[in-house]
Structure 1
Amino acid sequence: MIAKLKRFLQSHIQAISPEEKARQLKLAAASMLLEVVFADENLAAEERALLPKLLTETLSMSAQDANDLIDEAKKAQGNATSLFEFTNTINAEFSLEQKQQLLLAMWQLAYADGQLSQYEDQIIRRTADLLYLKHSELIQMRNQAIKAS
């Protein structure tokens, strides 16, 4: 029974095209960034301007693709039940450096409006845990974001 279930799951995982897999990964990363943006229930103009820029830099995409991804991520985020849905996808594909870059982008968004809310901090810390990043990496990325702002 378990072997049948395993074959079924593997056949469905293999059926996903590389393009679809890449799209899902970008969608998961964008959704994590949106979690930070909406954590304090206040979308500041600085955050609104920085989000597409971070997506183009972090995920190597055009500005138009970044804006389309943001729209799609807003819908996906609304349907999500937990951060695990996004971090699970990211853990499966991102390298340690890519995870750190995502965390750095999250910190940059959190500090974009000049103030860090407790909710933004909480989301980022939870995300770091779910991405299996060390506390020292979390602090290092935060310090880099502070220096850049």
Structure 2
Amino acid sequence: MLDQIRSFLRELKSETPQASGVNDTDVAAVALFFHVIGADGVIDEEESEKLRVLIAEEYNVDGTEMQELIEAGKKADREAVDLYQFTSVLNRALEPDAKVHFIELLWNLAYADGHRHELEDHVVWRIADLMGVSSRDRVLARQRALASAGIEDEADADNGN
């Protein structure tokens, strides 16, 4: 019984925003951002810059607050044993349309360096699946990200052209 109470209190605490203004939902999202851009084993300058711009635009943060969020997300990704711990947080926090938007953000990060690596593709697919985003919505989000990146043909994206 005591273990159940402790577990319940830990869950409440994990859903409460932290004093610094960084909350678990934001950390979960940024951890998944890092997971996608790091899937191919290389985080290059274009991906890092796209990540910072995306965080600034989507979470309306800058300066110290942005750095805290980036560090918390990076640490959470490094310590993660699976994607579920992040997607479950986002599933509780996001409406269906927001989930599709989040998948589109992941595609934007995957295409930040001008091409999509098959490991990045797999990670985005897996996250979309865990978040209950349909295959159709995932593909449409990918197509919008391709257009946004100025990549006309997906084959070009795969070849880095």
Please tell me whether the aligned partners of residues 14 and 24 of structure 2 are also in contact (alpha carbons under 8 angstroms). Answer: no
**SS of structure 2 residue aligned to 1:82:** coil
Residue 26 (1) aligns with residue 37 (2): no
Counterpart-to-counterpart distance in 1, 2:107 and 2:13:
35
Counterpart-to-counterpart distance in 2, 1:51 and 1:9:
33
**SS of structure 2 residue aligned to 1:128:** helix
Return the letter of the residue paired with 2:11: I
TM-score (normalised: structure 1) = 0.87
Match of 1:70 in 2: 70
Please tell me whether the aligned partners of residues 58 and 102 of structure 1 are also in contact (alpha carbons under 8 angstroms). Answer: no
1:85-111 Cα deviation digits (max 9, x unpaired): 100111111112221221111101111
Alignment coverage as a number of residue pairs: 147
Distance 1:72 1:112, change over 3 A: same
Identity %: 25
Match of 1:46 in 2: 46
Alpha-carbon RMSD across the aligned residues, in angstroms, is: 2.1
Return the letter of the residue paired with 2:105: A
Match of 2:90 in 1: 90
Residue 56 (1) aligns with residue 56 (2): yes
1:21-56 Cα deviation digits (max 9, x unpaired): 961100000001001110001112110101011112
> Alpha-carbon deviation of 1:66?
2.3
TM-score (normalised: structure 2) = 0.81
Larger fraction in helix? 1
Match of 2:130 in 1: 130
User: Structure 1: any 5+ residue segments left out of the alignment?
Assistant: none
Please tell me whether the aligned partners of residues 33 and 109 of structure 1 are also in contact (alpha carbons under 8 angstroms). Answer: yes
Counterpart-to-counterpart distance in 2, 1:71 and 1:39:
18
Structure scoring higher RCO (CA < 8 A, sep ≥ 6) equals: 1
* Structure 1 stretches of 4+ moved >6 Å: none
Distance 1:17 1:76, change over 3 A: closer
